[in-house]
Amino acid sequence: MNLMFLNSIDEHSYGGMEEWIRLAASGLKSRGHQVTICGRKNSEFLKRLNNSEPAVEVIGLGISGDFNPLTITRIKNLIDKRNIETIVVNFNKDIRLGGLAAKLSNDVTVIWSVGLDITGDSFAHKFLTPRLIQGVIVPSQALKNQITRYDYIAPESVKIIPIGIPKLDNVRSKSLARNDLSKRFSLPEESRICVTCGRFVEQKGHQYLVEAASDIIAGNTKVVFLLLGDGPLRNKLEARISELGLRKYFVFAGMVNNVAEILYGCDLMIHPSIEEPFGIAILEGMRAGLPIVASRVGGIPEVVKEKDTGLLVEPRSPAALATTVNQLLGKPAIAKQMGESGTKRWQENFVYERMIDSIEEYLESQSAKVKAYGKT
């Protein structure tokens, strides 16, 4: 197959959907498919791909409005030049830009890979979306339920493909990873490191962790909150932390390239999202053997097996979050067992190769249908 991934995320962000594209593109490329990835010029998304996936062709576009004729023409020209058979799109903007470009070419399949519920009941959504796509990929049943609620996305057109992440080569021991982590961020050796990984946006719920922090610290004065990522709410979060007098307990690590190595040095993962279709960061925590405390929302209960690999709490509840985090910090043996169970659950249910198998099979089948019967 000749494939194109189109993702118009803003220049400074990199989240779970972008990581999914990186993983999917790498896996499909390794199986002999030709892969092109398009995004905004000079974006963090494309920079990371250039650094980590040199075999995949990355193209920066000037992306503005949803119906920009120059962007549509550029995408259409790329389709023709590279003989693209299938475009995988992400945001609503991508559906319109990629979908309209595909309409100008023959037998090009458009698949919507949904990382977050961005459906709506406006005319543009109801009229355009089903006419510009031929199939949908989601990572969880919860997200499928969400995106089909307006009836213009048919449930039978939606394929659930759980995210899988690869095994890591040359994984260091947890003790070495911990020593490196302590040195890198100047943390006391006795610190209990609670890590949170995600963009600083409302959806990820960092504000509720900040509000829970005082009660967590009261139960364990050695705790340190390590925040991996960046985003528009960073200044607001830092200001609130300072207002609460908790600055010494928080480390803002920013956008890091070695997330996996860092996670191996932590004690507990906290994922306080108020909306989460799946939670690829949770998988990364499970792979690293971390017990998970997460919100009971979206697809998270499909990933975290409660009381086995972690504990779930109601969203937007700092009190519940604090109580549950302290419960695990106070029972290290149980936390360790949950971390080990999490690693086993990842190995058994969220294997990278299985995800690539499913993506490959689905894209090939949808492309074959379009070539045989035309676009519907």
Q: What is the pLDDT of residues 13-59, one digit of tens each?
A: 888 899 999 999 999 999 999 999 999 999 999 999 998 888 899 99
Q: What is the pLDDT of residues 165-183, one digit of tens each?
A: 999 988 878 899 999 999 9
pLDDT of the residue at 114: 95
Percent of the chain residues past pLDDT 70, beyond the cut: 99
Which of 108, 89, 80, 103 has its CA nearest to residue 17?
Answer: 89
Backbone dihedral region for residue 107 (phi beyond 0: left; psi -120 to 50: alpha; all else: beta): left
pLDDT of the residue at 123: 85
pLDDT of the residue at 74: 96
**Backbone phi and psi for residue 357, each to the nearest 5 degrees, phi listed first:** -55, -50
Q: Dihedral angle at the C-alpha atoms of 131, 135, 141, 142, nearest 10 degrees?
A: -30
Name the maximum alpha-carbon separation found in the chain.
Answer: 65
Query: pLDDT averaged over the chain?
Result: 94
Residue 39 tokens, joined: 């995004």
Least confident stretch, 47-51, 133-137, 310-314, 357-361: 47-51
Percent of the chain residues past pLDDT 90, beyond the cut: 87
Residue 231 tokens, joined: 């985003």
pLDDT of the residue at 124: 83
pLDDT at 338 over 70: yes
Measured distance CA(103)–CA(80) in Å, rounded: 12
Please tell me which residue, 272 or 51, carries the higher pLDDT value: 272
pLDDT at 343 over 90: yes
Q: Determine contact, residues 67/344, Cβ cutoff 8 Å.
A: no
Q: Which residue has the tokens 């996305």?
A: 153
DSSP helix/strand/coil, 195: strand
Q: What is the pLDDT of residues 73-85, one digit of tens each?
A: 999 999 999 999 9
CATH number of this structure's domain 2-164+352-373: 3.40.50.2000
Measured distance CA(138)–CA(346) in Å, rounded: 18
Measured distance CA(193)–CA(187) in Å, rounded: 9
Q: Determine contact, residues 312/296, Cβ cutoff 8 Å.
A: yes
DSSP helix/strand/coil, 294: strand
Least confident stretch, 153-157, 173-177, 214-218: 173-177
b (16+ CB within 10 A) / e for 156-192: eebbbbbbbbeeeeeeeebeebbebbbeebebeeebb
Q: Which residue has the tokens 């990382």?
A: 115
In the chain, which segments carry CATH 3.40.50.2000?
2-164+352-373, 174-349
Measured distance CA(182)–CA(266) in Å, rounded: 10
pLDDT band at 223 (very low <50, low <70, confident <90, very high): very high
Average the pLDDT over 325-350 and give the result: 97
What is the dihedral sign for C-alpha 167, 173, 176, 182? Answer: positive
Q: What is the pLDDT of residues 279-333, one digit of tens each?
A: 999 999 999 999 999 999 999 999 999 999 999 999 999 999 999 999 999 999 9
The superfamily (CATH) of domain 174-349 is Glycogen Phosphorylase B; (3.40.50.2000)
Spatial neighbors of 209 by CB under 8 A, at least 6 apart, are 196, 225, 270, 272, 318, 321
Measured distance CA(106)–CA(80) in Å, rounded: 9
Measured distance CA(130)–CA(153) in Å, rounded: 6
The whole-model pTM stands at 0.92
Q: Determine contact, residues 251/226, Cβ cutoff 8 Å.
A: yes
pLDDT of the residue at 376: 53
Average the pLDDT over 360-366 and give the result: 97
Rg (CA), the chain: 21
Q: Determine contact, residues 293/317, Cβ cutoff 8 Å.
A: no
